[in-house]
């Protein structure tokens, strides 16, 4: 059988990258415009007495839907996730857990994973219900004790239903609410879920704080 032989000049030349020269022109400001996509995530527990308007507040913030004419009490933990644009256009995913108002009487329920490792605790009270205001301390103590990770959570005190403030002689005014919060190192906000007033402020604050914490340099400890 005769074998065909190929001379050296007939063998196809393999591709050599050294023979390839590519020139790419990049605008001077293009590199500065390229920024990595960063999405931060933060967990928030919304607590407070039943009927203080927690669910209405969360719904008003998340979807701006109309205030419900008929109120239905939350019987289990509801999770709402919403992306909020923080400082420098960094997105923060807020995982908002709406806690039922009866949980404070159910210590076993407070041990579930929903209540663990929160970055923020948002305690809501109804300005027309002094009892809901007085219960804030019990709520905050119960939730912070539910998980070791909650002890470092930042606490926000939110006065809801400010539209009802003048309709009840026992209402909690702004001065009393703010002094209570400041004396304990809490941030204080006022809103009306029904009127869609001020509902964005506490959530925007949490998003901005999450961004600031992300930008903080890590703590360095030196062992001797």
Q: What is the pLDDT of residues 56-66, one digit of tens each?
A: 999 999 986 65
Q: CA 104, CA 70: separation in Å to the nearest integer?
A: 24
Average confidence (pLDDT) over 36-53: 89
pLDDT at 219: 61
pLDDT at 60: 93
Helix (H) / strand (E) containing 205: helix 200-215
Q: What is the pLDDT of residues 122-172, one digit of tens each?
A: 999 999 999 999 999 999 998 998 888 899 999 999 999 999 988 777 899
pLDDT at 18: 45
Q: CA 163, CA 141: separation in Å to the nearest integer?
A: 28
For the chain, what percentages of helix, strand and coil (3-state, to nearest 5) are there?
40, 20, 40
Average confidence (pLDDT) over 29-35: 55
Model confidence, pTM? 0.77
Q: CA 162, CA 198: separation in Å to the nearest integer?
A: 10
Domains and CATH numbers, the chain: 39-215 (3.40.50.300)
Quick check: 148 and 155 in contact, CB under 8 A?
A: no
Quick check: 128 and 168 in contact, CB under 8 A?
A: yes
Q: What is the pLDDT of residues 81-121, one digit of tens each?
A: 999 999 888 999 999 999 888 765 555 566 577 888 999 99
């Amino acid at each position: 059988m005769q074998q065909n032989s190929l001379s050296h000049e007939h063998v196809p030349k393999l591709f050599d990258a050294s023979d390839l020269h590519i020139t790419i022109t990049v605008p001077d400001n293009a590199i500065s415009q390229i920024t990595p996509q960063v999405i931060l995530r933060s967990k928030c527990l919304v607590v407070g007495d039943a009927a203080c308007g927690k669910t209405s507040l969360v719904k008003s913030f998340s979807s701006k839907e109309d205030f419900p004419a008929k109120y239905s009490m939350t019987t289990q933990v509801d999770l709402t996730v919403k992306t909020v644009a923080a400082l420098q256009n960094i997105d923060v995913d807020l995982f908002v857990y709406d806690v039922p108002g009866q949980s404070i009487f159910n210590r076993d329920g407070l041990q579930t994973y929903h209540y663990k490792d929160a970055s923020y605790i948002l305690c809501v009270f109804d300005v027309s219900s002094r009892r809901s205001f007085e219960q804030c301390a019990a709520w905050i103590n119960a939730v912070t004790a539910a998980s070791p990770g909650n002890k470092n959570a930042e606490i926000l005190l939110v006065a809801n239903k400010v539209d009802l403030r003048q309709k009840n002689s026992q209402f909690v005014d702004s001065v009393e609410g703010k002094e209570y919060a400041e004396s304990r190192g809490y941030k204080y906000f006022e809103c009306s879920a029904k009127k869609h007033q001020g509902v964005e402020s506490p959530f925007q604050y949490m998003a901005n704080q999450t961004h600031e914490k992300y930008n903080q340099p890590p703590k360095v400890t030196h062992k001797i």
